[in-house]
Amino acid sequence: MKAIRRLRRNFEHGVHPAHHKQQTENLPIQRVPFVKDYVMPLGQHIGVPAKAVVAVGERVQRGQLIAEPGGFVSTGLHSPVTGTVREIGDFRGADGRFAPAIAIEADAFATQQVDAGPAVDWESLSLEKFIEAVQMAGIVGMGGAAFPAHVKLSVPDGVKIRHLLINGAECEPFLTTDHRLMVERPEAVLEGAEIMRQKLGAEETVIGIEANKPDAIKTIRKHIQPNQPVRVVPLKVKYPQGAEKMMIKSVFDKEVPAGQLPRDVEVNVNNVGTIVAVADYFLRGMPLIERVVTVAGPGVTYPANLIVPLGTPVREVVRFCGGLKPGTREIIMGGPMMGRPIASLDVPILKGCSGVLVFTEQQTAGRKEYPCISCGRCLEACPYFLNPSRLARLSKSRMFDEMKAYHVYDCVECGCCTFACPSNIPIVQLIRTAKDDLANRKEPEE
Amino acid sequence: MKNRDPDLLLFHAPLLRQGMTTPRAMRDVLYALLPATAASLWFFGVSAVLILVACIAGAVLAEWLFANRAARSESLRDASGLLTGLLLGLTLPPGLPLWMAFLGGFVGISLGKVIWGGLGHNLFNPALLGRAFLLATFPIAMTTWVTPTPDGGFLNIYPGNLALPFMQAQIDGVSSATPLGMLKFDQQVTELTQLAFGNVSGSLGETSGLLLLLGGIYLFLRRDLDWRIPVSILVTVMVFSACLGLFDAERFPTPLFSVFSGGLLLGAFYMATDPVTSPVTPKGAWIFGIGVGVLVILIRVFGGLPEGVMYAILLMNAATPLIDRYTQPRVFGRGAESG
């Protein structure tokens, strides 16, 4: 029975949104031109914001450290361009809040050439030094969460990592950044994976790719060296295949216990983009100063996969893609299932931003809310087997404490329930409201 | 960018939707009932139209009267009142006075739905609540059955239909017992083919088993109903009847007779599956269906009434919150749940 399930390579429940990747999946990655103004928020990762180490008026080089980690769960920040620090202060972020950031004006006469710095001799680094290097390089999870990568590498004593799992599922509709990276830079993916695997002491590397990217599967397989312990696992096209616990279930048929981490089942999961960032830093000396962003959706004139320097305003990225079409109603940073709509085009591209999606009336219509009729579609969608309908009802009644008994903390906000809901109830939003309320209530006690 | 930036929407993710909406699901049920409704017109003529219209008018009037001003047009547009009226009408005898049908629809919506807080909050199926009200209030009119196609043809109206409110209803015309009544009180068995095609006496919508089944399959294909509920009801009824048949094949109905007689198919596919009043968890749906099946046979065979689908579903409706509570699915990454 177990063997049969293993063959199916799947997790239970989940949803099947149309993947909408046709727009950009065959477009090679191109570089956006440099612009004049950049804004680098100090808190573009989960955890403590970084601390600025430059002063206003100071000249900075592309790739120079401009902020150091503000704590353990924090990373370094580097200048995306050669130029001058114009201002250090509060700037409007993608979430609409003002937050500390460093504004840099690019030098109009600098070449902005992508300087390959000296490679880092990673093989001779101790594990501690390696982890520190990853932290200073500013590398975070590039799939969207922007969780500092070095924290995942810091495995407590006695815990063994046997499998390094590379997440190439890219299950969010519209996005094609990981897909293009795997097709265009398979060597970088495999190099980064090898560095990580050796440093973690893992036995093998597994690359999980959704079956709707046959070219990526083929290309990666072709580039695997005969003696490399790497295997590619094609996965069923289903959302959220790229949620790390779902992918572990699909690939290894193991359930990560609630409240625990992948390392508790001897797995370390990293996104393709993160792995490429590791390779770029240790082999080419490039800290994390730019990333691949998919610009797509029916409201954008020329969809594209772009290398964008961090801190570039969304306005400039959209302008490079021919601007917005008339009828634009919504602009999303990230994917359509877990991303965030932005209120203004004047917010910067961040480390965790995998896409800029432009939606028109057609996508935004039909979100009118109706009463919950307990149809149970959300229960059949939830990959965590929660009861979203009950959670939403409790949240609407502000019975947040009761929601704990229904495991509200196990929710990863993947959005399957809301996607499936015929009454368009904003279930994820209601769940987040409850989580926020519970978290804010705790603070005064501490 | 020369133009002004567009005004942007700020919704919470996810920003994509499957495309199915609640009003569309309601309308699907209406479509699924079309063949059976057409059959009721065929068998009972104009009387069927009048009864259905009276029920729908009562239901929609209650919906309109009790909705607050802001929600008024909305609660009518989601078609749930229309559906309740139609479902109620299909469970009524064709010769029922029209004012009773109207009252049933009105009570079904007002006491069955509005009073609970509207769509999605009611404990009992509104159509069945309306019917239970009628059966308790007008027991004779509600159990007077007529033979299909009145004398004189399609355009004739059963005389009972036109009785005035609170005057003694004239219960004459050609009355006849339903197949279940004949079995219970006269030990008379009706042919299965007659049951399947519907040429028997009974309420408007329970006569044609095959057409009800057809609509049920449509709903299943559209994924509008939880297949576990009709499947568990029908399987339970068949297994239970078969077991009883082992004791006394003469006295107890055969499994297929049990399925095709009375309101079982109408109840199993269109009423027990009402999402609001049935369990939301998959395990709960099985328990609910088995409970309905067992109660149907118990009432039919051992109770005082020939038919028990209505009470079986209403009783299980009452148990639904409890079932839901104790059948929460096992959460990913957690051991077995308790409570």
Quote the pLDDT of residue A204: 95
Question: What is residue A416's three-state secondary structure?
Answer: helix
**Segments in A227-360 forming alpha helices (H):** 244-252, 272-284, 314-320
Q: Lowest-pLDDT range, A96-105, A337-346, A365-374, B293-302?
A: A365-374
CA-based nearest distance B325→chain A, Å: 10
How many angstroms separate the CA atoms of B248 and A183, rounded? 72
Structure-token pair, residue A299: 């409201």
Query: pLDDT (tens digit, 9 = 90+) per residue, B223-265?
Result: 888 999 999 999 999 999 999 988 877 778 888 888 888 889 9
Choose the closest CB to A330 out of B1, B8, B14: B8
H or E element, residue A47: none
Residue type, A39: V
pTM: 0.90
Judged by a CB distance cut-off of 8 A, whether residue B18 touches chain A is yes
Collect all residues of chain B within an 8 Å Cβ-Cβ radius of residue A255: 332-333
Mean pLDDT of chain B: 85
Q: How many CB atoms are closer than 10 A to CB A33?
A: 9
Q: A–B: how many Cβ contacts below 8 A? A: 168
3-state SS, residue B20: coil
Total structural domains in chain B? 1
Distance CA B280, CA B302 (A): 31
Are residues A168 and A207 in contact, defined by beta-carbon separation less than 8 angstroms? yes
Q: A218 in helix, strand or coil?
A: helix
Average pLDDT rounded to a whole number, residues B119-137 = 94
Residue B75's Cβ-side half-sphere holds a number of Cα atoms within 13 Å equal to: 23
Residue of A nearest to B285 (CA): A376
Question: In chain A, count of helices (H) and strands (E)?
Answer: 15, 17
pLDDT, tens digit (0-9, with 9 covering 90-100), for A367-417: 889 899 999 999 999 999 999 999 999 999 999 999 999 999 999 999 999
Sequence spans of domains, chain A: 2-25+124-284, 377-445
pLDDT at B1 over 50: no
Q: How many Å apart are CA A386 and CA A409, to the nearest integer? A: 10
ipTM of the complex: 0.86
Residue B274 has pLDDT above 90, yes or no: yes
B17 to A366: CB separation less than 8 angstroms, yes or no? yes
Our CA-based measurement puts residue A430 at a distance from the nearest CA of chain B, in whole angstroms, of 10
Check if A435 contacts B (Cβ < 8 Å): no
B69 touches chain A (CB under 8 A): no
Give Cα A113 distance to the centre of its chain: 26
Separation between Cα atoms, residue B218 and residue A152, nearest integer Å: 50
In chain B, what percentage of residues exceed pLDDT 90? 47
Task: Report residue B208's pLDDT band, with 50, 70 and 90 as the boundaries.
Answer: confident
Residue B271 DSSP label: I
Q: Return the axis-axis angle of helices A177-184 and A272-284, rounded to nearest 10°.
A: 50
> Measuring CA to CA, how many Å separate A234 from each of A10, A197, A217, B95?
10, 20, 7, 64
Main-chain dihedrals φ then ψ at residue B203, nearest 5 degrees: -75, 170
The reply to whether B14 falls in a domain is no
The mean pLDDT of chain A is 92
Nearest residue in B to A316, CA atom: B1
Confidence class for position B171, pLDDT limits 50, 70, 90: low
Q: Does B14 touch chain A (CB under 8 A)?
A: yes
Q: Is residue B45 part of a domain?
A: yes
Q: Contacts of residue A407 in chain B, CB cutoff 8 Å?
A: 331, 334
**Which of A88-92, A435-439, B26-30, B194-198 shows the lowest per-residue confidence on average (mean pLDDT)?**
B194-198
Which pLDDT does position B68 carry in this prediction? 74
Q: Which residues of B touch A420 (CB under 8 A)?
A: 18
pLDDT, tens digit (0-9, with 9 covering 90-100), for B145-161: 877 765 545 667 777 77
Say if B317 falls within a structural domain. yes
Chain B segment 260-289 residues within 8 A of A by beta carbon are 275-276, 278, 280-282, 285
Burial (CB < 10 A; 0-12, 13-18, 19+), residue A389, is buried
In a domain, B260, yes or no: yes
What's residue B166's pLDDT? 67
Residues making up chain A, counted from first to last: 446
Among candidate residues B14, B335, B332, B16, the one with its CA nearest the CA of residue A383:
B332
The answer to whether residue A1 scores a pLDDT higher than 60 is: no
Nearest CA in chain A to B74: A370
Interface membership of A362 toward B (CB under 8 Å): no
Element (H, E) at A117: none
> What's the pLDDT at B249?
76
Q: Render pLDDT for A283-307 as a digit per residue (tens, 0 to 9).
A: 988 999 999 999 999 999 999 999 9
**H or E stretch including B51?**
helix B46-66
Q: Which domain holds residue B222?
A: 22-326
Name the packing angle between helices B22-44 and B46-66 (round to 10°). 150
Handedness of CA A269, A275, A277, A283 (dihedral sign): positive
With respect to residue B62, please indicate whether it lies within any of the assigned structural domains: yes
The arrangement of secondary structure in A2-25+124-284, i.e. its CATH architecture, is 3-Layer(aba) Sandwich (3.40)
Assign A329 to helix, strand or coil. Answer: strand
For the record, the structure tokens of A440 come out as: 């804010």
